[in-house]
């Protein structure tokens, strides 16, 4: 469903991603792991059109998308749940969700999808008229995920979905991600919690200083001695 071919990414004159290639198959969970500053979030921003690659290609669902704008990409079936949630804090929960379904088929199916989001996150239904900025961190993350789902994506990308959450909420968020995949959606996740990411990932890629240095199944990398030492504190 998604193929990254030899992409380079620069911020001005500074190159931050070098010749990275990987793929995500339909219906699977793929994880990008690595230390802070490795280039993980930059790659997600590049896939979603916020940053343009200086070289290479991005193929999504058979179409080259590297020069498409984010507002056009949403109709191709690609959604990005950003780091730090990025909600409209002076709008209600429901208004934030509605903003995820402004284009194409997603708008026609808005109420149906919203019902599904409320089933995933019953707390959001209770707080649907509450301002997003007054919610707890965990509730705000639920809104961010729900807003991404409202666009009816084929592939949804999560950037640090557990950031700043209590451990019990982290596990809840990962259970939701597994549920989303069980509904047939494809997932690409960047996450600081390497252990939980690898535990749910079909495939995982390790980035170091903007370069892809290792790949394998989630289970294989979870058992890898280098991964244990570098990322799991073993």
* Model pLDDT for residues 170-212, shown as the tens digit of each residue: 899 999 999 999 989 999 999 888 999 999 999 999 999 999 9
The answer on pLDDT for 232 being more than 80 is: no
- Residue 220's CB is within 10 A of a number of other CB atoms, namely 14
What whole-number distance in Å separates Cα of residue 31 and Cα of residue 193?
A: 11
Quick: pLDDT tens for 29-51. Answer: 999 999 888 999 999 999 999 99
State mean pLDDT over 113-139.
Answer: 94
* DSSP bridge partners of 81: 158
What whole-number distance in Å separates Cα of residue 154 and Cα of residue 1?
A: 9
Predicted pLDDT at 43? 97
Quick: pLDDT tens for 54-69. Answer: 999 999 999 999 989 9
**Tokens 């200086």 correspond to what residue?**
54
Closest CA to 150 of 201, 200, 89, 104: 104
The answer on pLDDT for 73 being more than 80 is: yes
What whole-number distance in Å separates Cα of residue 181 and Cα of residue 186?
A: 6
- The CATH code belonging to domain 1-77+153-234 is 3.40.50.300
Closest CA to 58 of 115, 6, 136, 18: 6
**Tokens 């979905």 correspond to what residue?**
161
In the DSSP assignment, the letter for residue 78 is E
Closest CA to 113 of 72, 168, 124, 160: 124
Predicted pLDDT at 233? 65
State mean pLDDT over 220-225.
Answer: 91
State mean pLDDT over 121-139.
Answer: 94
**Any residues with CB less than 8 A from the CB of 42 and at least 6 apart, and which?**
9, 16, 17, 51, 210
The answer on pLDDT for 234 being more than 60 is: no
Quick: pLDDT tens for 88-120. Answer: 999 999 999 999 999 888 999 999 999 999 999
**Any residues with CB less than 8 A from the CB of 204 and at least 6 apart, and which?**
30, 31, 32, 33, 197, 198, 215, 216, 217, 218, 221
* Under 8 Å between Cβ of 232 and 195: yes
* Under 8 Å between Cβ of 9 and 16: yes
Spacing of C-alpha 163 from chain mean position: 13
Q: Domain spans of the chain?
A: 1-77+153-234, 86-152
* Under 8 Å between Cβ of 132 and 85: no
Residue-averaged pLDDT of the chain: 93
Percent of the chain with pLDDT over 90: 78
Predicted pLDDT at 148? 95
**Any residues with CB less than 8 A from the CB of 35 and at least 6 apart, and which?**
208, 230, 231
The answer on pLDDT for 231 being more than 80 is: no
B/e letters for 66-82, b = 16+ CB within 10 Å, e = fewer, are: bebeeeebbebbbbbbb
Structure tokens at 131: 């301002």
């Amino acid at each position: 469903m998604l193929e990254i071919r030899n992409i380079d990414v620069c911020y001005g004159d500074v190159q931050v991603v070098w010749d990275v290639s990987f793929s995500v198959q339909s219906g699977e969970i793929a994880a990008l792991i690595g230390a802070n500053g490795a280039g993980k979030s930059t790659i997600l921003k590049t896939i979603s059109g916020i940053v343009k690659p200086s070289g290479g290609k991005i193929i999504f669902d058979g179409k080259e998308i590297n020069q498409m704008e984010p507002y056009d990409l949403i109709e191709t079936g690609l959604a990005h749940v950003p780091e730090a949630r990025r909600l409209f804090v002076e709008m209600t929960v429901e208004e934030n969700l509605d903003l995820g379904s402004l284009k194409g088929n997603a708008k026609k199916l808005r109420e149906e999808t919203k019902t599904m989001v409320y089933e995933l996150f019953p707390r959001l239904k209770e707080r649907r008229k509450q301002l997003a900025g007054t919610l707890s961190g965990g509730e705000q993350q639920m809104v961010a995920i729900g807003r991404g789902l409202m666009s009816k994506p084929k592939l949804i990308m999560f950037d640090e979905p557990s950031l700043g959450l209590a451990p019990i909420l982290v596990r809840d968020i990962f259970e939701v991600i597994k549920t989303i995949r069980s509904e047939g959606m494809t997932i690409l996740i960047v996450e600081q919690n390497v252990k939980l990411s690898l535990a749910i990932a079909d495939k995982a890629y390790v980035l170091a200083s903007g370069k892809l240095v290792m790949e394998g199944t989630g289970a294989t990398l979870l058992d890898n001695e280098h991964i244990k030492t570098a990322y799991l504190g073993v």
